[in-house]
């Protein structure tokens, strides 16, 4: 069976049940006389992204279910470094819950591991191919044509992917924000080995997503919730070990101070700063992992006229033994 066939088999059985439950009602949803496109994060996703909690418990904001990465041998990618050659494959699911058929454009972008996205830190070439078109009938779900993923010598071993879906009658906001705009979704997870004594570190970029506005960027780190750990257990086929919040710290490049539970700094429009999330925990067994989520909140320094934007990044720590 082809990679695309495997993906359709996983998603197709859910399609009828998902749309049998869908009912726009009078809940303030957009006019369904036009396409209403989104990349589904979970089986019951209807495209709503309420703030400040856009997803139900257990849904990983940094690992969208609607983005599938398949290695050159056809197996699903669940972590570690993506082979530089030959090409892997990315498949993106698109839902159209509107009453009009869509000719959806799906584009993919990559960047260094990051919490938050902006045009300045996103790239397509030469790692990812051009945008692809997928017809999506009203009240239906489809999988976009495969997009090759070839890191080569350009991209880091761990990279973030951002997918965007659009149509002439249903365009994204331009915010590049998967936590607020249904047109965007991310696969944004780093898998990191720990030392034998249980210490680990992961480097990421904290991004000011506003291209033309300076912003106060707040960075925090927390352990995965019990529901999130359950989701990861199913995807990684390993046991989750809880970690105390006191075992987590953050460190920003260029700051001469001790690691702390949270960071705050001002960044110019589109600027980013390299940071590290640090873990201190007991040694993990070979079949165990612990997971954390880094979160950012960027507040523009324009007199509070512009709402803040949120970002997220996930890290899984495991034993190399």
- Are both 161 and 177 inside the same structural domain? yes
* Residue among 228, 249, 309 at smallest CA distance from 62: 228
Cβ contact 140:204 at 8 Å: no
pLDDT at 304 over 90: no
pLDDT single digits (tens) 245-283 = 999 999 999 888 899 999 999 999 999 999 999 999 877
The number of beta carbons lying within 10 Å of the beta carbon of residue 85 is: 10
Who's near 306: CB < 8 A, 6+ residues apart?
210, 213, 300
- Are both 177 and 214 inside the same structural domain? no
Listed in order, strand segments (DSSP E) in the chain are: 37-38, 67-70, 88-96, 102-111, 114-115, 132-136, 140-143, 147-149, 160-166, 184-187, 189-194, 199-207, 215-223, 239-240, 248-252, 262-267, 272-280, 288-300, 309-319
Tell me what pLDDT residue 1 has.
46
Phi, psi for 160 (deg, rounded to 5): -95, 140
Confidence of residue 157 (pLDDT cuts 50, 70, 90): confident
Element housing 294 (H / E): strand 288-300
pLDDT at 65 over 50: yes
Q: How far apart are alpha carbons 15 and 143 in whole angstroms?
A: 12
Of 168, 187, 206, the position where a domain reaches its end is 187
The mean pLDDT value for 152-181 works out to 93
- Are both 26 and 140 inside the same structural domain? yes
End-to-end CA separation in angstroms for the chain? 33
- Are both 204 and 102 inside the same structural domain? no
Tell me what pLDDT residue 221 has.
98
- Are both 91 and 165 inside the same structural domain? yes
- Are both 8 and 127 inside the same structural domain? yes
161: which strand partners? Answer: 110, 187
pLDDT at 7 over 60: no
The 8 Å CB, 24+ separation contacts for 76-80 are 78/235, 78/236, 78/237, 79/189, 79/191, 79/236, 79/316, 80/191
Q: How many helices (H) and strands (E) does the chain have?
A: 2, 19
More confident residue, 282 or 180: 180
Tell me what pLDDT residue 21 has.
37
pLDDT single digits (tens) 98-155 = 999 999 999 999 999 999 999 999 999 889 989 999 999 999 999 999 999 999 888 8
CATH code of the domain covering residue 196: 2.60.40.10
- Are both 204 and 148 inside the same structural domain? no
Element housing 4 (H / E): helix 3-21
Tell me what pLDDT residue 27 has.
43
- Structural domain span for residue 111: 3-187
Of 165, 187, 209, the position where a domain reaches its end is 187
- Are both 207 and 153 inside the same structural domain? no
- Are both 247 and 110 inside the same structural domain? no
pLDDT at 17 over 70: no
State which of 4-13, 74-83, 219-228 shows the largest mean pLDDT. 219-228
Domain count, the chain: 2
> What's this model's pTM, rounded to 2 decimal places?
0.89
Of 129, 152, 187, the position where a domain reaches its end is 187
Q: How far apart are alpha carbons 246 and 169 in whole angstroms?
A: 48
- Are both 19 and 165 inside the same structural domain? yes
Phi, psi for 66 (deg, rounded to 5): -85, 0
Confidence of residue 4 (pLDDT cuts 50, 70, 90): low
- Are both 167 and 235 inside the same structural domain? no
State which of 33-42, 146-155, 300-309 shows the largest mean pLDDT. 33-42
- Are both 134 and 209 inside the same structural domain? no
pLDDT at 200 over 80: yes
pLDDT at 19 over 60: no
pLDDT single digits (tens) 77-97 = 987 788 888 999 999 999 999
More confident residue, 48 or 304: 48
Q: How far apart are alpha carbons 300 and 226 in whole angstroms?
A: 33
């Amino acid at each position: 069976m082809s990679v695309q066939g495997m993906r359709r088999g996983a998603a197709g059985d859910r399609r009828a049940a998902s749309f049998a439950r869908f009912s726009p009602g009078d809940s303030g949803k957009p006019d369904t006389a036009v396409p209403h496109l989104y990349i589904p994060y979970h089986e019951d996703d209807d495209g709503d992204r309420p703030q400040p909690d856009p997803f139900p418990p257990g849904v990983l904001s940094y690992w969208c279910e609607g983005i599938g990465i398949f290695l050159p041998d056809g197996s699903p990618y669940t972590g570690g470094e993506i082979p530089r050659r030959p090409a892997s494959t990315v498949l993106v699911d698109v839902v159209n819950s509107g009453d009009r058929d869509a000719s959806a454009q799906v584009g993919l972008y990559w960047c260094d591991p990051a919490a938050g996205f902006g045009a300045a830190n996103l790239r397509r070439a030469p790692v990812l191919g051009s945008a692809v078109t997928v017809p999506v009938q009203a009240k239906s779900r489809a999988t976009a044509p495969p997009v090759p993923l070839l890191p080569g010598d350009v991209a880091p071993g761990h990279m973030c992917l951002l997918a965007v879906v659009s149509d002439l009658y249903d365009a994204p906001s331009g915010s590049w924000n998967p936590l607020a705009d249904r047109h965007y979704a991310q696969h944004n997870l780093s898998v990191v080995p720990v030392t034998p004594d249980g210490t680990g570190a992961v480097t990421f970029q904290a991004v000011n997503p506003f291209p033309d506005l300076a912003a106060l960027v707040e960075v925090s780190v927390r352990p995965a919730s019990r529901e999130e750990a359950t989701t990861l257990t199913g995807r990684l086929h390993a046991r989750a070990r809880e970690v105390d919040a006191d075992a987590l710290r953050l460190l920003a490049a260029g700051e001469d101070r001790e690691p702390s539970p949270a960071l705050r700094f001002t960044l110019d429009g589109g600027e980013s700063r390299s940071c590290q999330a640090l873990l201190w925990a007991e040694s993990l067994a070979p079949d165990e992992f612990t997971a954390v989520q880094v979160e950012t909140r960027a507040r523009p320094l324009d007199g509070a006229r512009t709402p803040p934007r949120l970002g997220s990044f996930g890290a899984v720590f495991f034993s190399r033994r």
